């Protein structure tokens, strides 16, 4: 579970966030800190790597997952330049799709930061997930974004968009509960 940190003062970013592990017996312990506005997280199919979207650092960050759930070997998985990753998912080629609210697109990126595919939208993209019958449909939740100060609104601009993806989904969260 991740969190974006303390609520900011007007005009400032959220403080450093954390990642906590909740065990099967209900124990909660912090496993990472100083996350720059933690957003989407995904685990590779082999359960060895956690990738987290750090929106305010414009990057995807990877951690090795130890047998006890602790996170080690923190590293930049992809520097995204002027993009702000939000929700993410992994495909079978080991690439990450990330949604980007202010830039109004979803991007498929390879480890190291090479951007492979882009889906433009007319509104902010908040999350994305691969699914459909063969796992090759990218679903995107999108809505008009007016800033944090206008998050609560009567405006109803949300949409679910879909587009074909070059590779099916993999890792966790998974589009198919039958695949482990």
We report the CATH number of the domain holding residue 143 as: 2.120.10.30
Give pLDDT, residue 151.
57
Give pLDDT, residue 173.
75
141: pLDDT confidence band, cut at 50, 70 and 90? very high
Structural domain boundaries, residue 110: 2-170
- Give which of 2, 164, 158, 177 is closest to 97, Cα–Cα: 164
Q: CA–CA separation, 36 vs 50, rounded Å?
A: 16
What global pTM score does this model have?
0.88
At 48 the three-state DSSP class reads: coil
Asked whether residue 86 is assigned to any structural domain, the reply reads yes
Asked whether residue 176 is assigned to any structural domain, the reply reads no
66: pLDDT confidence band, cut at 50, 70 and 90? very high
Give pLDDT, residue 8.
59
Q: How far is CA 56 from CA 50, 173, 174, 177, in A?
A: 18, 23, 26, 32
- Give which of 96, 8, 27, 34 is closest to 19, Cα–Cα: 34
Give pLDDT, residue 177.
43
Phi and psi at 16, nearest 5°, equal: -60, 135
Give pLDDT, residue 158.
80
Asked whether residue 180 is assigned to any structural domain, the reply reads no
Per the structure, how many domains does the chain have? 1
Asked whether residue 96 is assigned to any structural domain, the reply reads yes
The answer to whether residues 125 and 146 touch, using CB atoms and an 8 Å cutoff, is: no
Asked whether residue 7 is assigned to any structural domain, the reply reads yes
Asked whether residue 28 is assigned to any structural domain, the reply reads yes
Asked whether residue 177 is assigned to any structural domain, the reply reads no
Q: How far is CA 34 from CA 11, 17, 141, in A?
A: 20, 5, 27
Asked whether residue 118 is assigned to any structural domain, the reply reads yes
Give pLDDT, residue 157.
74
Q: What angle do CA 162, 163, 168 make, to 5 degrees?
A: 105
């Amino acid at each position: 579970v991740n969190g974006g940190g303390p609520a900011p003062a007007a005009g400032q970013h959220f403080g450093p966030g954390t990642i906590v592990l909740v065990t099967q017996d209900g124990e909660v312990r912090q496993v990472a800190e100083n996350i720059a506005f933690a957003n989407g997280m995904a685990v590779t199919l082999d359960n060895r790597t956690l990738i987290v979207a750090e929106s305010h650092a414009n990057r995807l960050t990877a951690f090795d997952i130890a047998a006890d759930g602790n996170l080690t070997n923190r590293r930049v998985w992809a520097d995204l330049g002027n993009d702000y990753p939000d929700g993410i998912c992994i495909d079978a080629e080991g690439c990450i799709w990330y949604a980007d609210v202010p830039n109004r697109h979803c991007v498929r990126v390879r480890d190291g930061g090479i951007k492979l595919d882009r889906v433009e939208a007319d509104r902010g993209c908040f999350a994305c997930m691969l699914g459909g019958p063969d796992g090759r449909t990218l679903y995107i939740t999108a809505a008009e974004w007016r800033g944090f100060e206008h998050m609560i609104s009567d405006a109803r601009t949300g949409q679910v968009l879909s587009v074909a993806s070059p590779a099916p989904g993999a890792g966790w969260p998974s589009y198919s509960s039958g695949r482990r």
